[in-house]
Amino acid sequence: MIVVFLPAYNEEDALGRLVAKFDVEILKAGSAYRIVVLDDGSSDRTAAVAQELSKKYPLELLRHPVNQGLGQTIIDGFKHVSETTSPDDVVITMDCDDTHEPRYMHEALAKIREGFDVVILSRYQEGGGEQGLSATKSFLSRGAGLFLKFFFPIRGVQEYSCGYRVLKASVLHKAHKVFGDRFIRLPHLGFVVTPELLIKFRMLGCRIAEVPFVLKYDQKVGKSKNKPMRTIKGYFALVTLYWGRKAPRGA
């Protein structure tokens, strides 16, 4: 079973397109699947669109009554996914704004079958790239990756800030067992949750790999929800919190 987790905030225009693409690609993979959408208190019709989609696709809608931010959405979504999957399931997570194309998941699924625990979809692997991203955002993303790689090196990994990932459900089960409520400690810093998760997987000794994908930022509808200064502050907080730290005993 493939379980797709989509954190959603004001994505009424993108959600339907993304779900339809997933249906096509997962059927190509020959796997049963379900999609979990967690609507983070959207002020548009995201929840209504998800409910309509659930009549056609195997989609489950979860909701925050009020907006709580990406960090808390990831916490609650991953907890639900962890509690409702078996160890043999595969979890795919990505942004819900239609900038991450599901067709790139096949190579990542092949890596999972090879024995890797976590596979990152990376702009920086040969064959990857980005479209529609400003020079400033591209520079900041590249710089963030270099900064985090210096403090938290992972062999073969260059992409630390992209939320498009494929992982074994057993990894989530282990992470919740080992770290408990401290799995994600910086939810208030928004997009910092993405590298924090990777750091935790690293602490658990997961086998981590990358495969290429092209970020389609030119397909994004609406404004970015990322706040660059808060994110930069969060990267320094990650170093303070985790640099040199190991997973608790028994991990």
Neighbours of 248 (CB within 10 A): 11
Whole-angstrom distance, CA of residue 64 vs CA of residue 72: 10
- pLDDT at position 249 over 70: no
Q: Is residue 251 part of a domain?
A: no
Tell me the three state secondary structure of residue 215.
Answer: strand
Q: Is residue 250 part of a domain?
A: no
**pLDDT tens digits, one per residue of 21-50:** 999 999 888 889 999 999 999 999 999 999
CATH number of the domain to which 78 belongs: 3.90.550.10
* Band of residue 232 on the pLDDT scale cut at 50, 70, 90: confident
**pLDDT tens digits, one per residue of 147-171:** 999 999 999 999 998 999 999 999 9
Do 229 and 137 form a contact (C-beta atoms < 8 A)? no
Q: Is residue 29 part of a domain?
A: yes
**pLDDT tens digits, one per residue of 3-12:** 999 999 999 9
Neighbours of 37 (CB within 10 A): 27
Reference 79, options 236, 187, 241; nearest CA is 187
Handedness of CA 67, 72, 74, 77 (dihedral sign): negative
| Number of separate domains in the chain | 1
Q: Is residue 76 part of a domain?
A: yes
Q: Is residue 43 part of a domain?
A: yes
Q: Is residue 194 part of a domain?
A: yes
Q: Is residue 9 part of a domain?
A: yes
Reference 178, options 144, 211, 153, 203; nearest CA is 203
Per-residue 3-state assignment (H helix, E strand, C coil) for 78-120: HHHHHHCCCCCCEEEECCCCCCCCHHHHHHHHHHHHHCCCEEE
The kind and range of the H/E element at 2 are strand 2-8
Domain of residue 170: give its range. Answer: 2-242
Q: Is residue 235 part of a domain?
A: yes
**pLDDT tens digits, one per residue of 180-227:** 989 999 998 888 999 999 999 999 999 999 999 998 887 767 665 556
The token pair at 231 is 């994110």
- Strands (DSSP E) found in 80-132: 90-93, 118-122, 129-131
Tell me the three state secondary structure of residue 138.
Answer: helix
